[in-house]
Structure 1
Amino acid sequence: TGRPAYVAEIAAGMRRDMTGSVLFTAAIIAGLFWCAHRRWTPMLWLLLLLGAILAGTLALGGLVFGTIDVVSLGFAGILLGLAVDYGVVHYQEALASPDAIIPEIRRAIGPSIFWAAATTVSAFLVLNLGGLPGLGQLGSLVALGVGLSALVMLFVFLPPLFGDRMPRRLRQMAAGAWPPGPAAVGVPSPAAEWPAGRVKLVGALSLLLPLIGGGVWYFGLPGLDHSAGVLRPRHSPAEVALGEIRSALAQGREPWWLVLSGRTEMEVADRLAAARHLLDRAVANGWIGSYALPAAFWPRPDYQATNRATARQLAAGRESLRAAALGAGFRPKALELTDRLLEVWQRAAAADRTFWPTNALSRWILDRFVARSASGWVVVGYVFAPAQSQGAQGQQMHWSEELARQGCLLSGWDLLGDAVLARVQSRFGWVMGSMAVLVLGSLGLAFRRAGEILLSLAVLGCSAVGLLVVMRLMGWSWNLLNLMALPLMLGTGVDYSIFMQLALRRHGGDLRAAHRSVGRALLLCGGTAVAGFGSLAGSNYGGMASLGEVCAVGVGGNMLLSVYVLPVWWHWLRGTRAGSSPAPATEHPAATRPSWFYRAEIWSLGLFVGRFLPVKLSVALGCWAAAGYCALQPRRREVVVRNLLPVLNGERQAAERATRQLFAEFARKVGDLWRYESGRAVERQPADWSGWEIFTAAQARGRGVLLVTPHLGNWEIGGLLLAQRGVNLLALTQAEPERRLTALRLNSRARWGVETLVVGEDAFAFVEIIKRLQAGATVALLVDRPAPPTAVTVELFGRPFLGSIAAAELARATGCAVVPVYVVRRPAGYSAHVLPEVPYDRAALGNRARRIRLTQEILRAFEPVIRQHATQWYHFVPIWPPAVPPAP
């Protein structure tokens, strides 16, 4: 036994607890996933991502905390059990919507994952208010991991598994076969009949719940364990060996430690005297059995000052003492001890400070109870409890407080439990109150309906009743660690009700559809969460084991109620409320299918040729190639004709003439673009700049300028024209069909001082854009060929049209100026035009309908110029969504 043995045991226990919980939870996750889906690839990919999330959390935890303590090591199993939830729900939604592409699935399930992760992160962060540093560190680590896992599962998990969906959608749209009817995600199916058996069973259970709750209250709630045993290891050979040694020495119970401190030796001596008086009274009253204080060993400066004269006198008479002893027949050898004592007394008499013995034996003895700190001295004594201490428990706090007022602190395992529990209880109200506010806030933002918020709270209340029943049946009690299971149940358990109710909304109350898309996933998620918390049951520390057991029961009950009981309650609530079913979304994502010729090799060849070929020759060759392509590609030509028909009021012949001219204009545009991107100066200088004062006025406000433009004219040249006027431009673009082509075009723009940010389908790229706009930057955005996540249906030339809501989202986030611009080719050169700024009420943009309306206003501002320059409005893929036939 001893410190080395304890350190070795603790290190081994930490390693065993962490690896055991991780392996157990991972095995349960793999087994449940395999039973549910029978697919190797997603299971292995999921386990790989979970390992990466765990490693990333450990790395972040190392940066934040430096070291991880014993209690917080249980985070690994908990994190795995919670992190897998978001991936499983996302994956099940993808399986339930086989025709949906990943951005649609993400848009459908993303809000549920976001609010669930927010409540879980909040729950674990609130543990920092509980007064236990180790448990607070555990909460912080799990919160870090849950936030990281939500991002990974939303944006990394699905793309490798369903990479064929976007190409299939593009083929369907090119063939005019999409959408085939109601959209795959977001449009509810016709509501099916609800199972009568389940409704009756849930009704009976709902009636029994008050009786069950009353029975728990009548027979008594689980007790409260005041001891500190939950903080000690359950199996410790070193502890056993120490107990045997204590028994052999007849020491009985482990003594309490009495710690005194003082700035000077005299202050410590006074406190020793005061403590001795209080301890004598405690012994007389039977509160303690005995005590041991080092008062006899402690140097007293006042006594030493009195004894210095005597010591000096004795040291001065050393020779006379020696002569007398030798005269009495003593040998010189017998006087060595006397000589040493007189030497020490002589040094002590000459010292002006408190004298401390310095020999090896004295140092060894003093090290047992004395320590020197930066602020003074620390002394320890021992207090032994009486043989029968039950009646003295009520007085311990009283006289220990008296000792504390004298600067003496009483500590020990027997006292630690009450002290720590009192600290936890004093903060418990703040913890639960903070958690309740966070949960109510998350539910309010997620549902915005009082009825659904109350349903989630009812599920939490019923799961709490079930937990109390299980605790009574199993003989469990509350302790200073598992009390923190209550806020964890609030934060993690509410996730299931959020997922289920939002799924019921999406599917218009169709229980079978909701169960197919989310319910099965929640059963798997609940199983993994129970496994994650349950893995703590094998911990060597009783408190962590009890925390895991209580959380596993509470979360498991919450999951079962959310999957099987909550939908029936929601159905009853929906039946008593009119108009509860949400309207299906009407927006459909746009798709692009670039020409085979738009690839890195051909573009590189064009840049090479454009650097040296004369302008007139390149224009002639380009027009000839465009005419040939137009004649040899009837399908592509027909797409352009159909795109131009609404612009030209449906006149077919005018659209066909404009199409042929458009191909020629596009050839001239590409030739100029190749010369521009190759670094060669573009000879066509702008003939005029109209509306420049509008841009400068918007820029002067310092809130950022968002330049919006359609695929009209040569918008790429606009960056060069702005650079010539000293404006640094950030151009937003989607990823090109090839990664190499994307890099090629980015480098070409950078040559002229135009910075490019590729956004594509990554919504988080907009964080950087928001920062730039808030700093006053100028950003350019195309609005008439949006990425699927930003596509909304507006009206253009009297037809439904897919426009980008990104400009409205950025306006809401930053309050920037939204300025329409366009650059078109005229015979004399390029002409740049700045249209009047689009006004908007930023406060009103919190409503999505108002953002769609702002998108409508932006595109409507371009209708006259697109009609005027229809032959330079370059769209070679279908841009008008097919009409969706009405549901029968």
Structure 2
Amino acid sequence: MWLILLPLLAIGLARLRFDVEVFDLLPPDLRAVQGLKIYQEHFANARDLLLTISAPGAEQAEAAARSIAERLRVETNLVAEVTWEPPWLEHPEQTAEFMAYLWLNQAPEAFRQLTNRLAPEKLQAVLADAREQLATSMSPPEIARLSYDPFGLTRLPEKVAGAAPSFGEGQEMFSSADGRFRIMFVQARPRLQTYRECDEWLRRIQAIVQGGMGPGQASGVSLGYTGRPAFVSEVALGMQHDITLSVGGTALIIACLFWLAHRRLKPMFWLLALLALILGSTLALGGLIFGRINVVSMGFAAILLGLAVDYAVIHYQEALAHPELSIPEIRRAIAPSIFWAAVTTISSFLVLNFGGLPGLGQLGTLVGLGVGLSACIMIFEFLPPLFPDRREPKSHAAAEAGTGGARRAERETWQAPTGPAFAETKPARVKVVFGLTAAVAVSAIAVLLWLGRPPIDPTGDALRPRNSPAYAAMDEIQKHLTKEREPVWLIVGGRTEAGVARRLDQVQAVLERSASNHLIAGVTLPTALWPSPEFQASNRSMALALAAERRTMDHAAQAEGFAPNSLALTDRILEVWQAVGRMPGVFWPTNKLSQWVFRTFAARTPTNMFALGLVAPMAGQSEASRSQLSLVEEALPREDVWLSGWGLLGSSIFSRVKANLWKVLGPMVCLVLLSLWLAFHRPREISLSLAALLLSGLALLTVMRLVGWSWNLLNLMAIPLVLGTGVDYSIFMQLALRRYNGDLRMAYLSVGRALLLCGGTAVVGFGSLAFSTNAGMASLGRVCSVGIGCNMLIAIFLVPVWWSGGAKPPQVPKA
């Protein structure tokens, strides 16, 4: 078998890559997910780092931002661009191209009014009016504008003036109202394609920033980092932490538990070696099947360790309990238990593929592969090196002698006072167990009736990292610059500028109605800024005519007393019109300032174009607000229009997970029932296993309610996992009871102790996920560990007494 597997494993390891993108965990057909992917790909530059600066005073914050920007700009091998204030304040000469574009993009009637106003015979009156306003105005911004724009070319029509950026201060894009909080954009020079590159680049930037502030500037200043490089670096560090803690910690605890149970080093080290082999082989098979494995799916490793050890421990305990049996005889004796336990466990993880979350589906597939592999490896490879003299069945005489010796030892042990408490199912013991069962059930039902069921969290918070500095910095930006409202992005796509413009008009009408109906608080769309091929084509001839009057306009201005440098903006706008008037196609501004502005609302690829708008939801993030956004989404055009945001994403995914839950639970329940029937063929034993599942479910819900845990879009998938893995314990226990004719003590010695160890390792495997840096995986691990722990304890300590019904163990025959 290994000769066949080795080439496949080698190919899988060669293909294996780790994926840190959270969106690859989500269902790709959801429009909210599609919208966020488009936003991340085209509007959130993969190389942009957002740096936040908080200081006690506005002057200190500004000084720190300027000092950091100057220091970063020197590092040209690391940084391509740094923007810490509106670009037009640093490069005012570049505003001319954008103003020329905005005029070209106006309706022909508006541009014709401009040409009429600037007709040669009217220039003197226009300039005289400008000079009079300079002499009488009390507004500093108005005086500044007229001093470099005497012809009023920056005075745009009202419709576009509200949408275009203000070329005055405009600090609200970079600074809070009080000036004590600022942000800057740092664009990386490298492409930052891998998480290692992101982490290394961010570390170097952080070191430069810390040393970039001058003496005294660092006092009281706090810095934050967010954006894709920060998120990816954080996820990568979280992955390393999770793998080290969960896998290393789980392996260590497995070794300690095995040592405490058996006090033998050789089987312990052999067990750890086989677990490492299983883990590596499963990872290689994952690389062969998927190619890229998401870092969140790497949680499979700890789960697999906790489950794979079961098959080894069951075999080992059976071998110790029956020294007269050979290894093949042990395999045959417990084959039904192993087979049906493996089937239900594998199936419980494979059905995660129907849950609507590709990330969890990938995790389920990896664990399913690993459990199947571990069952085969542990069955055939674990015992032979430990018991080399038991590889083949003994002769008949030796077997008889061995059996007699075993029975004598059995009888002696049976009479020992150190046997388990339920070695004989005394009536008092039966009453205690059934009383405890009733008390647990009644208490759980009472708590759930009094406090209610565990709450449901429909948001996308389960997808976020816990204790994330990058998210904390993003929350600070939202708090200071976006009025504490989480943005909802509206993305409009198309193949041409005209197609996007038409859809923007359609969307504008829908959103204005939604705002009037109080479904949303407001909307900001780039309709007035998006290029209009039709208007540009109509305005080109008029723009050329105005550009031809450049000398006339210069002479008129100088005659009215305006200095030549006050005409620089006008001359540059006329130059742009003269150049664009002879250009074919749609005009897009090209200088750095214009590109920076367009990057906030427009994106182009060789085949598609996208426009970005913002929808302001009603105050709060309540269920009512989310339902209102859902109504707005339904009213929008379906083709090439996406409404998306983290709040909307969470509710959309949760709705998908809830809708798909029956696809997961239905097959799982059917499979559990089928497995129980094929394993037992007795309604009574099937009923006992179902009763154990029901009681453990009540216990799990009670614990969740008492400690304040809630259901979310990830830990809902714990339900099939607890069903599939939890039923194994009752299968093992009842088959052992049947094998030993109701001898509770022998069932406990051969299987019960092993199940304690197996259950403990499974709880540890899932429980290690509770320390995961991903909030959803941590909640999934907590719920699974509690549910499986309850299943295991009930199967070992309650089910045997339920099964025996008070019957005494059989008499051990004399030797």
Q: Which residue of 1 aligns with 2:780?
A: 547
Q: Which residue of 2 aligns with 1:52?
A: 277
Mapping 1:499-518, distance limit 5 Å? 499-518=732-751
Tell me which amino acid in the other structure corresponds to 1:84: V
Mapping 1:677-826, distance limit 5 Å? none
* 1:453 equivalent among 686, 702, 711: 686
Secondary structure of 2:270's match? helix
Q: Which residue of 2 aligns with 1:636?
A: none
Residue 26 of structure 1: CA displacement? 1.4
Q: Which residue of 1 aligns with 2:128?
A: none
Contact 1:258/1:383, CA 8 A, preserved across alignment: yes
Contact 2:626/2:648, CA 8 A, preserved across alignment: no
Q: Which residue of 1 aligns with 2:431?
A: 200
Q: Which residue of 1 aligns with 2:251?
A: 26
Tell me which amino acid in the other structure corresponds to 1:511: L
TM-score (norm 1): 0.61
Secondary structure of 1:257's match? strand
Matched, 1:421 2:654: yes
Q: Which residue of 1 aligns with 2:361?
A: 136
CA distance in 2: counterparts of 1:382 and 1:265, whole angstroms: 19
Q: Which residue of 1 aligns with 2:400?
A: 179
Residue 211 of structure 1: CA displacement? 3.0
Change (3 A) 1:375 1:151: same
Q: Which residue of 2 aligns with 1:635?
A: none
Residue 374 of structure 1: CA displacement? 5.4
CA distance in 1: counterparts of 2:745 and 2:361, whole angstroms: 41
Residue 106 of structure 1: CA displacement? 1.2
What is the count of residue pairs matched by the alignment? 576
Residue 454 of structure 1: CA displacement? 2.2
Secondary structure of 1:289's match? strand
Deviates more, 1:322-331 or 1:238-247: 322-331
Q: Which residue of 2 aligns with 1:211?
A: 442
Secondary structure of 2:581's match? helix
Matched, 1:247 2:472: no
Tell me which amino acid in the other structure corresponds to 1:509: G
Once the two structures are superposed, what CA deviation does each residue of 1:794-840 show, in whole Å capped at 9, x if it has no partner? Answer: xxxxxxxxxxxxxxxxxxxxxxxxxxxxxxxxxxxxxxxxxxxxxxx
CA distance in 1: counterparts of 2:787 and 2:278, whole angstroms: 25
Change (3 A) 1:217 1:473: closer
Matched, 1:38 2:270: no
CA distance in 2: counterparts of 1:47 and 1:199, whole angstroms: 39
Contact 1:271/1:406, CA 8 A, preserved across alignment: no
Contact 2:522/2:615, CA 8 A, preserved across alignment: yes
Q: Which residue of 1 aligns with 2:232?
A: 7
Contact 1:435/1:491, CA 8 A, preserved across alignment: yes
CA distance in 1: counterparts of 2:688 and 2:665, whole angstroms: 19
Deviates more, 1:327-336 or 1:106-115: 327-336
CA distance in 2: counterparts of 1:89 and 1:508, whole angstroms: 19
Tell me which amino acid in the other structure corresponds to 2:446: G
Q: Which residue of 2 aligns with 1:467?
A: 700
Once the two structures are superposed, what CA deviation does each residue of 1:566-625 show, in whole Å capped at 9, x if it has no partner? Answer: 1122223999xxxx99xxxxxxxxxxxxxxxxxxxxxxxxxxxxxxxxxxxxxxxxxxxx
Contact 1:275/1:406, CA 8 A, preserved across alignment: no
Contact 2:445/2:698, CA 8 A, preserved across alignment: no
Matched, 1:263 2:495: yes
CA distance in 2: counterparts of 1:447 and 1:472, whole angstroms: 34
Contact 2:491/2:642, CA 8 A, preserved across alignment: yes
Residue 273 of structure 1: CA displacement? 2.2
Tell me which amino acid in the other structure corresponds to 1:61: G
Residue 320 of structure 1: CA displacement? 5.8
Contact 1:100/1:185, CA 8 A, preserved across alignment: no
Q: Which residue of 2 aligns with 1:567?
A: 800
Matched, 1:402 2:635: yes
Residue 530 of structure 1: CA displacement? 0.6
Mapping 1:299-448, distance limit 5 Å? 299-316=531-548, 338=570, 340-373=572-605, 375-388=607-620, 390=622, 392-405=625-638, 407-448=640-681
Secondary structure of 1:179's match? helix
Residue 436 of structure 1: CA displacement? 1.1
Tell me which amino acid in the other structure corresponds to 1:294: P
CA distance in 1: counterparts of 2:347 and 2:550, whole angstroms: 77
CA distance in 1: counterparts of 2:429 and 2:312, whole angstroms: 29
CA distance in 2: counterparts of 1:373 and 1:119, whole angstroms: 48
CA distance in 2: counterparts of 1:456 and 1:409, whole angstroms: 48
Q: Which residue of 2 aligns with 1:224?
A: 456
Residue 331 of structure 1: CA displacement? 7.8
Matched, 1:17 2:250: no
Secondary structure of 1:295's match? coil
Tell me which amino acid in the other structure corresponds to 1:12: L
CA distance in 2: counterparts of 1:331 and 1:202, whole angstroms: 100
CA distance in 2: counterparts of 1:455 and 1:345, whole angstroms: 85
Q: Which residue of 2 aligns with 1:834?
A: none
Q: Which residue of 2 aligns with 1:120?
A: 345
CA distance in 2: counterparts of 1:325 and 1:216, whole angstroms: 85
Q: Which residue of 1 aligns with 2:175?
A: none
Change (3 A) 1:98 1:305: same
Secondary structure of 2:486's match? coil
Tell me which amino acid in the other structure corresponds to 2:508: R
Contact 2:448/2:702, CA 8 A, preserved across alignment: no
Higher RCO structure (Cα 8 Å, ≥6 apart) = 2
Residue 368 of structure 1: CA displacement? 2.1
CA distance in 1: counterparts of 2:609 and 2:377, whole angstroms: 53
Share of identical aligned residues, percent?
56
Change (3 A) 1:181 1:49: closer
Contact 1:278/1:403, CA 8 A, preserved across alignment: yes
- Which structure has the larger Rg over C-alpha atoms? 1
Once the two structures are superposed, what CA deviation does each residue of 1:506-564 show, in whole Å capped at 9, x if it has no partner? Answer: 21221111111000000111111111111111112221111111111110110111111
Q: Which residue of 2 aligns with 1:293?
A: 525
Matched, 1:522 2:741: no
Change (3 A) 1:279 1:446: same
